[in-house]
Amino acid sequence: MNALWDWGDGAIAVPKKTLSNDCLTLCPIDVDRDAPEWYVAMQEPDMHVWTGNRVPDDIDEVRELLAGYNAHPDIMAWCIRDGLSGSMVGTYWLAVPYPSEGKRISVDAQRIAKSFWRTGRTMAARRLVYRYAFEDLAVEEIHASAWGHNVNSCRSMERAGFELVEVAARFNPKYGKELNERHYVLTRERWRRAVATSRERLAEE
**5-14, 69-78, 116-125, 188-197: the lowest-pLDDT one:** 5-14
CA gap 97, 76 in Å, rounded: 10
User: What residues contact 181, with CB distance under 8 A and at least 6 apart?
Assistant: 145, 146, 147, 148, 167, 168, 169, 170
pLDDT at site 45:
96
CA gap 39, 26 in Å, rounded: 18
Q: Looking at residues 43-53, what average pLDDT do you find?
A: 93
At residue 52 the predicted structure's pLDDT band, cuts being 50, 70 and 90, is confident
pLDDT over 60 at 9, yes or no:
no
Q: Looking at residues 5-27, what average pLDDT do you find?
A: 67
Share of the chain above pLDDT 70, in %: 89
At residue 3 the predicted structure's pLDDT band, cuts being 50, 70 and 90, is very low
At residue 157 the predicted structure's pLDDT band, cuts being 50, 70 and 90, is very high
- Closest CA relative to residue 186, chosen from 136, 111, 148, 129: 129
pLDDT at site 15:
52
pLDDT over 80 at 43, yes or no:
yes
pLDDT at site 198:
73
- pTM for the predicted model, two decimal places: 0.88
Q: Looking at residues 46-75, what average pLDDT do you find?
A: 94
pLDDT at site 144:
97
pLDDT over 80 at 2, yes or no:
no
Q: What is the pLDDT of residues 89-148, one digit of tens each?
A: 999 999 999 999 899 999 999 999 999 999 999 999 999 999 999 999 999 999 999 999
CATH number (3.40.1370.10, 3.40.50.2300, 3.40.630.30, 3.90.226.10) of 19-204 reads 3.40.630.30
Q: Length of the chain, please?
A: 205
Q: What ranges do the domains of the chain cover?
A: 19-204
Segment 47-53 long-range contacts (CB within 8 Å, at least 24 positions apart): 47/111, 47/113, 47/114, 49/150, 50/146, 50/147, 50/149, 50/150, 50/153, 51/111, 52/173, 52/174
Q: Looking at residues 47-66, what average pLDDT do you find?
A: 94
